[in-house]
Amino acid sequence: MKAFDDGSVRNEKFSPAMKWFDAVQSCQQAGVAYALITVLGCTGSTPRDQGSKMVITGDATFDTIGGGHLEFVVTNKAREVIAEGRSVQEIQHFPLGASLGQCCGGSATVLVETFAGCQFNIGLFGAGHVAKSLVSILSGLPCKVTWVDSREEEFPASVPANVTKVVTDDPCGEIATLPEGADVLILTHNHQLDYELCVAALKRLQSGNALRHVGLIGSDTKAQRFVKRLEHRGFSLDEINQIKCPVGLSEVPGKLPMEVAVSIAGELIAIENEGKVTQQKRGLAWKDIKQELGSELGAEVNTEGQGAVLTVKNETIK
């Protein structure tokens, strides 16, 4: 599966006939940006009734809210937000008259929920035992992995939904194709290839095309040898020190492939969450939802029992 930062997907798993709920699951698993569209309410004659849903990605749509210019306008609006990499929730109201070029005569209120694509990108070089163990861990994390090796036979028969397998005779060339801010893990079977990948990563860093983290598997002895070779190649010590070797958390010891993989995964998780602050409030406040839906759709609030229930026409939102 290939998932792109602009929300586009090009893979047989994303069939045009896919229903909205299957599309949501596939987008979530692949880390693809998407918008979930829900018709909250409608009056008069409309293409679809309330509760109708569809999913929009950067280059595809799944299911429908009735087609026509309404769906065209909603799709374009959703793709603008997808292209900006934002996650938003908006309620939009559309009279289905001359302004939309539709003759239905009714109106539709639509909830547009846009989910940004995953920005946690990992370039994994090497398909050996440690890499295979690491992929099994990364498959359960909100990240996108580009897994590179020249040996087709070393890859498993199938890879997780958030992993793109790349078989190439030029692994170093893949360094330049990784998204900005990606994490690079060099775990190959060949020390010379490891060295060449380090050179490619340092050249990319020199060009200003940022990588967030470069990790190299190996011992302290290997690290010292690579420092000397890279200095001889013309890189400064400050540049070379941007490569972490041995890669992984020193607090997590062990030499078994899974132990090393856990150490590397732990380091990546720490890097991904560094500096993040938990917000006290996220999304829409309850009072704002009551005010907006109450004024626009005549919603009623029932506070009997536990919690509160906001009823919009024939639909209940809890």
| 48-52, 253-257, 310-314: segment of lowest average pLDDT | 310-314
pLDDT band at 94 (very low <50, low <70, confident <90, very high): confident
Which SS3 state, helix, strand or coil, does residue 114 take?
A: strand
| pLDDT attached to residue 306 | 61
- Domains by residue range for the chain, with CATH: 1-117 (no CATH), 121-273 (3.40.50.720), 284-318 (no CATH)
State pTM to two decimals: 0.74
When pLDDT is cut at 50, 70 and 90, the band that residue 251 belongs to is very high
214 closest CA partner among 33, 132, 235: 235
Greater model confidence, 180 or 308: 180
Lowest mean pLDDT of 41-50, 75-84, 214-223, name the range: 41-50
Token code pair at residue 170: 């030029």
Weakest-pLDDT range from 65-69, 194-198, 205-209, 310-314: 310-314
Per-position DSSP letters for 208-257, written without gaps between them: T--EEEEEE-S-HHHHHHHHHHHHHTT--HHHHTTEESS-S-TTS---SH
More confident position, 182 or 308: 182
Local confidence band at 291 (pLDDT 50, 70, 90 cut-offs): confident
Most confident option among 32-46, 83-97, 237-251: 237-251
- For residue 112, the model assigns a pLDDT of 93
> What is the reported pLDDT for 49?
77
d(CA 252, CA 266): 9
